[in-house]
Chain A
Amino acid sequence: MTRRRDDIALRETEASFSRRDLLKLLASGSALLLVHCGPVPPPPGEKRGASYDWTKHYWVYVVDISKCIGCCACMRACRAENDVPEGYHRTWIERYRIRKDGEVLIDVAQTGEHVFAEVKDEVERAYFVPKICNHCTASPCTQVCPVGASYQTKDGVVLVDDKACVGCGYCVQACPYGTRYLHPTTRVADKCTLCYHRITRGEKPACVAMCPTGARMFGDLKNPDDPITRLLKDTRTRFIKAELGTKPKCHYIGLDEEVI
């Protein structure tokens, strides 16, 4: 009799974990996983200044092409400040030379010394174009990042969370400006951060701070007294590849048609 009762108890125990229970367990497991889903959180606090409030700023970058002399101090400063690996650039300068027949010759400063090679050929006109991440408002790189490791801060800066990036390189392809690369050591996407660690302490990005002619400018659109705010009110500026609808934040003064 006791044995029979045990059998029934055993059968009941077996039956107590039915297929329905298994499905419930799987469903709740999936729900838990979904709760975990979604883009990664904002950047860790130590990257920002301690009392920094990112809702009170909106950063913007301005380049005056007529002022750039191609000295490349910005490139050297960026490399020193951000430990950019050799052969890669977070910012660079392009030299445009337009021949009489309309042919456009473009080269960039050589790596290592970061100086332009001396040229002697005759050209109609020539100018330098500093390039940098445009920190687009409608940024294709953050759109295509499959894990949300590339994201936009509330103060308008596009950053990469190197602890979340899977290193797929899709953002590198999606950026129309060629400003991203895969870091050879960390094997994740890397790019200009507008020196986020500096600007959140009230300093300027290294490239702006080191520019001897003021060709590179930087400021806060939410601050009405910032010279940049006044400059952008009075000056007509253009964006590179504006037709792509990326809404860049890097304004150019004196941008010519040849520059794309």
Chain B
Amino acid sequence: MIVLYPYITGLVAGAFIVSSLYHVFGREALQPVARFSLAAAFVFLLFAPLPLLIHLGRPERAFSIMITPNFSSAMAGFGFIYTSYLILVVLEIWFVMRSDFIQRAKGAGLGALIARTILLFNLHEDDATRRADHKIAKVLAGIGIPMACLLHGYVGFLFGSIKANPWWSTPLMMVIFLFSAIVSGISVLIFHYFVVSWVNRWKVDSDCVRLMSKYLWGFMIVAVSLELLELMSAAYQQTHEWEVIHTLVSKHLFVSYVILQFLVFSLIPFFLLAFNSLARSTDRVSNAISWTAATMLLCQVLLMRWNVVIGGQIMSKSFRGFTSYFPGLWEKEGLVTAIVVFTLPFVLLYLFHRLVPLFPDAKKRSAA
């Protein structure tokens, strides 16, 4: 579960940053996924604390973290950072999608009732309110960027600040987590946009995907370089901790870290995205490359979280011994729970889409 938690918050931060690129920096090409990215950030955010709750020995005391916080602990900030970010995302969605909610609320049925409730039963709308909504949404998106960075950089800090563990303890951890979060966020948007488009037989907006894949390429270069930099500096400095890290990497994490995370799921997407960004190709080829690279990078970031979290825990504190770990199928923090936890945001995303269309122009574009 502690692998899933940083993974899900990473998706939140990444998806939110893509939505902000459109809302704040006016990257019009991202318009087809702007609304969806905001909704994705929201649903993932909603489920981000679930793995933590499952992990807690006494989940019924979870709120103590906000009622009796110990401010010397980095973890005590979680409740406050999470809650304020959730409020911000909810408000931004409210202002960005108010017009759509009003359209939905004017209809009949359960959806309309839900939309009316969300709108607090105020269906009034004119040009002035639309302008005001737009302005407020832009400000919120602007505030949201540093907050998204804080939310996920903070998760990196939780690991990076543990001096007891040489595999975690590095100031770079915060930055690494941040960039890998953006990589996973963009990847999940590309992945999902294609899947939804295939299912609905919509035409994919290739310009939008091309731009996202360029961003993805840039961010993945930074993320992977930082990870390699951290490892290389430990190797070059040959500190006494390198001995244990070397054994960890070359033996216990060799398959998941060296082979899978770097050689397969970093190197191949790197070349694919480099080709996509530098060479000219047909939309069809470019789209196929983008989707493949995004899917692989989704796995890369999950592997990275796994290697960080599990790698740090299988080392003994005397740095001499290692244990091994693989989650069971049915245990409390096992594979089935993980799959369910990871599926729930997508279910909610589907319900969200049923309420308010997340790809409003997709049909029109396909028809054209």
Contact = CB atoms under 8 A, between A and B. Distances in A.
Contact of A167 (B58, B74, B165, B313): B58
A175 B76 contact: no
A146 B73 contact: yes
Given A164-B64, A169-B57, A106 B318 contact: yes
Going nearest first, the 10 A-B pairs with the smallest beta carbon separation are A167-B57, A178-B317, A187-B57, A148-B70, A176-B164, A146-B75, A147-B64, A146-B76, A166-B61, A167-B58
Contacts, number: 101
21 contacts: A39-B68, A39-B70, A106-B318, A106-B320, A144-B74, A146-B70, A148-B70, A164-B61, A164-B64, A165-B57, A165-B58, A166-B57, A166-B61, A166-B64, A170-B75, A170-B158, A175-B164, A175-B317, A176-B164, A188-B58, A244-B164
Q: Which interface class (under 10, 10 to 19, 20 to 34, 35 or more) fits A?
A: 35 or more
A71 B165 CA distance: 31
B146 interface: no
Main secondary structure of the interface of A (DSSP, over half): loop
B57 A188 contact: yes
Interface string A81-124: 00000000000001000000000101000000000000000000
B202 interface: no
Interface of B: 52, 55-59, 61-62, 64-65, 67-70, 72-76, 78, 158, 162-165, 312-313, 316-321
A137 interface: no
A23 interface: no
Given A166-B57, A174-B162, A176-B163, A37 B69 contact: yes
A221 interface: no
Name, among A142, A168, A175, the residue most crowded by chain B CB atoms within 10 Å (CB to CB). Answer: A168
A169 B55 contact: yes
Quick one: which of A94, A104, A165 has the most chain B CB within 10 A?
A165
Contacts of B162: 140, 144, 173-174
B251 to A, nearest CB: 16
Contacts of B74: 144
A247 B110 CA distance: 62
Contacts of B313: 173
B58 A147 contact: no
B316 A145 contact: no
Nearest to B312: A173
Contacts of B64: 146-147, 164, 166
Interface in A142-199: 142-148, 164-170, 173-178, 182, 186-188
